[in-house]
A and B are shown apart, each in its own frame.
Chain A
């Protein structure tokens, strides 16, 4: 058996079938993730429709610059992830590891900024619950905004943490020489996952941070 053949599982006929199955399997999983986040986007749409004014003014309590910086950071991490996949496809192990690590660093930077934001919201008494304080008659509606803010960005952050874990596992495997031009499916699939998480944020940023800036 060729070296590549050692990566074929017994129930597949050839590597092509195995790769094809893994690829479409990942896309089916991403479809489930679209629906998963979609439930929260549905809640957002409903309350934004009913409470546009409250949502607009509540949104302005978020730091748009931190949000924008984070968007750039995450898009950058998608770029480095794509480059990691490129190097896996061309069998260049060292650049692959380098770009995976860079992606992890950018991901951690994103999380760092995010948790700093959470901390400032906590200090400003904008975390929903018994300590929530908000001026004005729209306080209750604003609390819904912040509930959605924490739920949506929190769930996004959980997905990022999982992604960073997957990337770390990839780095370990890459260092052991597991990947080559002929077999690098885990790198590709992790890339798909990471890009998906980026896309979620691409929508979260304008919907949560930008909706009230023109008011």
Chain B
């Protein structure tokens, strides 16, 4: 049983500070039109970066055994399988919603 801390306070503080910076960054970039879907890329990249910082340092994964990595990876990999499979269908067919429907009459009551 360990009686030494896994991560030092200094590293926690550095990670915290970085997370704040990244939060400010992603908020600021959001107001700038990067064109062509790059806003999405930027937002997701920063989010993944923040998540990795929390995972590796706050959750000690950087210092954990391989089995932890396996189950962490499995969760996210399976999520990608689900997203990928569904989107592979979605991107090949049109949506059900008329693009410019008027809201004048709705034929079904909710």
Task: Check whether chain A touches chain B (CB < 8 angstroms).
Answer: yes
Chain A interface residues (CB < 8 Å from chain B): 4, 15-16, 19, 23-24, 27-28, 30-35, 38-39, 41-42, 45-46, 49-51, 64, 68, 71-72, 75-76, 78-79, 81-83, 86, 89-91, 129-130, 136-137, 139-141, 181-183, 191-192, 195-196, 198-199, 202-203, 205-207, 210-211, 213-215
- Given contact pairs A46-B87, A49-B90, A75-B19, A214 touches B5 in the complex (Cβ within 8 A): no
Contact across chains for A140 and B46 when beta carbons are under 8 A apart: no
Q: How far is the CA of A35 from the CA of B82 in the complex (A)?
A: 9
Are B97 and A140 in contact, CB atoms less than 8 angstroms apart?
A: yes
- Alpha-carbon separation in the docked complex, A58 to B48 (Å): 24
In B66-88, which residues have CB < 8 Å from any A CB?
67-68, 71-72, 74-76, 78-79, 82-83, 86-87
Decide yes or no: A86 and B9 within 8 Å by CB, A35-B75, A42-B86, A46-B87 being known contacts: yes
Identify B27's interface contact among A23, A31, A64, A129, CB under 8 A. Answer: A64
Number of B residues with CB within 8 Å of any CB on chain A:
58
B90 touches A50 (CB 8 A): yes
Main secondary structure of the interface of A (DSSP, over half): helix
Given contacts A34-B79, A89-B4, whether A24 and B68 have CB atoms under 8 Å apart is: yes
CA of A19 to CA of B97 in the docked complex: distance in angstroms? 52
Partner of A90, one of B5, B26, B32, B97: B5
A34–B86 CB distance below 8 A: no
Residues of B within 8 A of A64 (CB): 27, 30
What CA separation (Å) do A72 and B19 show in the bound complex? Answer: 9
**How far in angstroms is the closest Cβ of chain A from B95?**
4
Chain B residues with CB under 8 Å of A41's CB are 79, 83
B71 touches A45 (CB 8 A): no
Tell me the smallest distance from the CB of A184 to a CB of chain B, in Å.
Answer: 9
CA–CA, A150 to B110, complex, Å?
19
* Contact, CB under 8 Å: A27 / B72: yes
How distant is the Cα of A19 from the Cα of B64 in the complex, in angstroms? 13
Cα distance, A210 to B43, chains bound together (Å): 8
Cβ of B30 and Cβ of A210 under 8 Å apart? yes
CA gap between A85 and B108 in the complex, in Å: 55
Inter-chain contacts of A191 with B (CB < 8 A): 58-59
Partner among A16, A31, A79, A199 whose Cβ is within 8 Å of the Cβ of B51: A199
Cβ contact within 8 Å between B6 and A50: no
Q: Is A89 a contact partner of B26 (Cβ separation < 8 A)?
A: no
Tell me the bound Cα distance from A165 to B103 in angstroms: 45
**Shortest Cβ-Cβ A-B pairs, 6 listed:** A31-B75, A34-B75, A210-B30, A50-B95, A206-B43, A181-B3
Asked if B3 contacts A91 (CB within 8 A), the reply is yes
Taking a contact as CB atoms under 8 Å apart, the answer to whether A206 and B26 are in contact is yes
Do A214 and B3 contact each other (CB < 8 Å), given the known contacts A71-B23, A139-B103? no
* Cβ distance B71 to chain A, nearest Cβ, rounded Å: 5
When distances are taken between beta carbons in the complex, the residues of chain A under 8 Å from B71 are: 24, 27-28, 30-31
